Amino acid sequence: MSGSHAAASETAPRRGVIRFVRRLWRKSSIAGLAVYALALGGALGLASADWATSGGYPFGGVQVGAWTAWPRAGAANADPYTRAVNARRGEIPLAVGEGLLLTAAVDDAGQALDATCTYRIGGGTPPARAWTITVAGRGPREPGRPILREGFTSTEVLRSADGRFAVMLAPDVQPGNWLPSPRASGPVRLALRLYDTPAAASVGSLDRASVPAITRLGCAS
Amino acid sequence: MRLVSLRFVYATLIGLVLAGIVHIVAVLAIPVLSEKDAVSRARTSESLDHPQPIYTVATGDDPSPPEAWLPIPDPAVAVGVCAYDLADGPMRVSARTGSLALSLAAHARRGAFYAVTDQAAVRGALDLVILTRAQYDEALADDENDPSRDVRIVAPDTRGFVVVRVIAGLPSQRPAANAAIQAVSCTTDTATDDAPTGKDSSGKGAGR
pLDDT at residue B205, rounded to an integer? 36
The answer to whether residue B6 neighbours chain A at the CB level (below 8 Å) is: no
User: Cβ contact (<8 Å) for A92 and B107?
Assistant: yes
Same domain? B98 vs B118: yes
pTM to 2 decimal places? 0.80
Question: What whole-number percentage of chain A has pLDDT above 70?
Answer: 87
Same domain? B16 vs B84: no
How many H-runs (helices) and E-runs (strands) does chain A carry?
A: 3, 10
Same domain? B174 vs B72: yes
Same domain? B65 vs B129: yes
Domain total of chain B: 2
- pLDDT over 80 (residue B148): no
Q: How far apart are CA B24 and CA B28, in angstroms?
A: 6
Same domain? B12 vs B65: no
How far does B172 lie from chain A, in Å, by closest CA?
11
Instruction: Give the chain A residue nearest B156 (alpha carbons).
Output: A76
Identity of the residue numbered B191 = A
Each residue's pLDDT tens digit, B7-48: 888 889 999 999 999 999 999 998 888 888 888 888 877 777
pLDDT at residue A16, rounded to an integer? 80
Same domain? B27 vs B44: no
Chain A residues in contact with B1 (beta carbon < 8 A): 26
Residue B144 within any structural domain of the chain: yes
Same domain? B88 vs B140: yes
Mean pLDDT of A159-176: 89
Residue B204 within any structural domain of the chain: no
Half-sphere exposure in the Cβ direction for A114 (13 Å, CA): 12
User: Cβ contact (<8 Å) for B22 and A91?
Assistant: no
Which strands form A62-64's sheet, in the order they lie side by side? A62-64, A67-69, A99-104, A190-195, A130-135, A151-153
Residue B71 within any structural domain of the chain: yes
Name the band, by pLDDT with cuts 50, 70 and 90, for residue B62. low
Same domain? B27 vs B50: no
- pLDDT over 50 (residue B107): yes
How far does B203 lie from chain A, in Å, by closest CA?
41
Question: Of A15-24, A75-84, B9-18, B106-115, which one has max mean pLDDT?
Answer: B9-18
Chain centroid to CA B172: 28
- pLDDT over 50 (residue B109): yes
Question: What whole-number percentage of chain B has pLDDT above 70?
Answer: 84
Residue B203 within any structural domain of the chain: no
Same domain? B137 vs B155: yes
Same domain? B101 vs B6: no
CATH for B75 = 2.60.40
User: Cβ contact (<8 Å) for A90 and B70?
Assistant: yes
Residue B198 within any structural domain of the chain: no
Residue B202 within any structural domain of the chain: no
Half-sphere exposure in the Cβ direction for A115 (13 Å, CA): 16
Residue B118 within any structural domain of the chain: yes
Same domain? B92 vs B109: yes
Residue B167 within any structural domain of the chain: yes
Instruction: Give the chain B residue nearest A48 (alpha carbons).
Output: B23
pLDDT at residue A174, rounded to an integer? 87
Same domain? B16 vs B78: no
Range of the domain at B26: 1-34
Chain B residues in contact with A48 (beta carbon < 8 A): 19, 23
Chain centroid to CA B50: 13
